Structure 1
Amino acid sequence: MKALVKQGPGEGLEYVDIPTPVPERHDVLIRVLRTGICGTDLHIFDGNPWATRTVRTPRVVGHEFVGEIAAVGPGVGGLLPGQLVSAEGHLTCNSCVNCQADRKHLCRAAQGLGVQRDGAFAEYLVLPAESVWVHRPGVPLDVAAMFDAFGNAVHVADAFPLRDRTVLVTGAGPIGAMAVAVARHRGARLIAVSDLSPFRLDLARRAGAHLVVQAGEQPVDPAALGQEQGFDIGFEMSGNPSAQSDLIAAMAHGGRIAALGLPDEDVPTDWSDISLRMLTIQGISGRKVFDTWHTMADLLDDGLDLSFAVTDHFAAQDYEKAFATAARGDAGKVILDWAPRD
């Protein structure tokens, strides 16, 4: 089968032939249809210090996908060939305190699909049956392909109650824009978004943002946006140290921040200011397994439209163009097609 493989340190991936994996007793073999390119994949493609430290090569990369079950192991029940599926990209140990207490999103031994074990950028993928999510009827393939990223957005947006609250979002990439859409759906009174990219600010507008701010020119001023007391809720989605500092400064007393963005450098933080203004900062990683997934499906059933988030499609063999597009600031979610499109 064809797969995108990180062969060693340095920049780039290779589109190569490797053996098709074989499912064991409790595994599922999935024929991959479409995959989404994530920021993690870009780091691995670039071979940045985190990727060099973390990814043991050779490694099939990728974790956002939708596919059809091709075969199941003899110990698998409840899953059938032909079902449309994605999967939780954090494969948990099932034996630690958090896993046993049904807090799998806090598993310290979790393995990342496409990072610590072979991933989804391939024609076929094998996963433990317990990690597989069966989609409800009618889910568009593009949306199903980015369910992992959608889950990040929902995990952030559902960290705190949003109805009638004011929200500031720093970072309007695909996950940030989807978080805007969820916040609007949840009844936020005002959603302001800052980003460096005019394209992504437009993406945020399409997602439902009431106001957008060009970042980098000046700090976000709550008063200029009609928020003299600052914002009730913050979503930090960028990983940019300046954006993180601006977000903290723009919060109201008692404000609450859900932080998903991962900075590449240390962020100076005035902890006395956080204490005196009684701010809450909640770190967010991944999704709650499988609570967030059920919430995602319910949101789609309730009419949430994410079609705005997907902006580009490429055939899998054109991965270099796809990665270059995803790395620019003028794209939303970029999808790789592993099977012919209807």
Structure 2
Amino acid sequence: WLKLSQRATDQGRPPIEILDGTLAAPGQPLLPQSLHAIKHCVEQGNQALVFINRRGYAPMILCQDCGWQADCRRCDSTLTWHRSEGSLRCHHCGYQQRVPPRCPECGSSAIHEAGCGTEKITELLEQSQQAPVIRIDRDATRRKGSLDAHLATIQQGKPAVMVGTQMLAKGHHFPNLTLVVILEMDAGFLSADFRGPEQAAQLMLQVAGRSGREGKGRVLLQTRHPDHPLLQLAASGDYAALASDLLEERKMADLPPFGHLALFRCEAMSMGKAMEFLQQLAGIPLPPDVHLLGPVPAPMERRAGRYRTQMLLQCAQRAPLHQAISVLLEQARTLPAGRQCRWHLDVDPIDML
């Protein structure tokens, strides 16, 4: 267990202030406190970072009259509006289409965006701030050399506001960055994946660590769930306490590191074929210490036009788990249903979704 007891620059950890994001005005994702802090930061000749781990202008568009929303034709996901490109794009399979001028369902022109991404935050800040606004995400840095050019501009130390995704979360040293505003971190703490809160807390603390590396720093966290106990623990900076709570939960549920997992994933052109294969596997006798959960549809049932199912194996010891895996793999290679789908086994899965 390797502990980092101090920061690389010997500066103290910047405090994380929690702001109630439900008080934000419609169409303005940044609270007045955040906007005031950004303005004060650049007026003092420093730099600020607005972190939102979501590309595009808005994660979805919808009709205010009938409730229609732009969904991907190949995935169980909404299409993200990339306003600068004039397109709707799926971030899971890459499907694209143009933004419809009217609602395809009712013909209404009352189509509006919901939520925000880096594009929208950049546009709003350009309207309200006097300093340059620099957007750094995968879309804005697609051209060769563009990322290096943006980083070189920031390293000059002149007042600026950065808007970025996890590309800016770690590995960067910005001496004049004294303010970080963090948006849209709630999803990780509410994730169906048991590792969601752990990963969200790590990302939050990594982003917060960009602030005040050579002076006094400040971090503002906007959240719609300010009373969430895990989020409050993460914001306090006491990662050891957060880890202790999460480990206690995992111990009660026999989840890693107190138990071991293996995940069978299957996908096919129909849900029936994908489910049939795993159901046949589920009927094979296994060692008594191995618990089988499923098969069930994956959290995102359809991706890239294929239906996805999964079956989880759980055991406190490795030996019975690998014995069960050997039996299932031997049978899976001979089942006719396996030839009508794609399947694979993920031992110690990192992603449960």
Same fold (TM over 0.5): no
Higher relative CO (Cα under 8 Å, sequence separation at least 6) belongs to 2
User: If the TM-score is normalised by the length of the shorter chain, which range does it land in?
Assistant: under 0.3
TM-score normalised to the size of structure 2? 0.24
Larger radius of gyration: 2
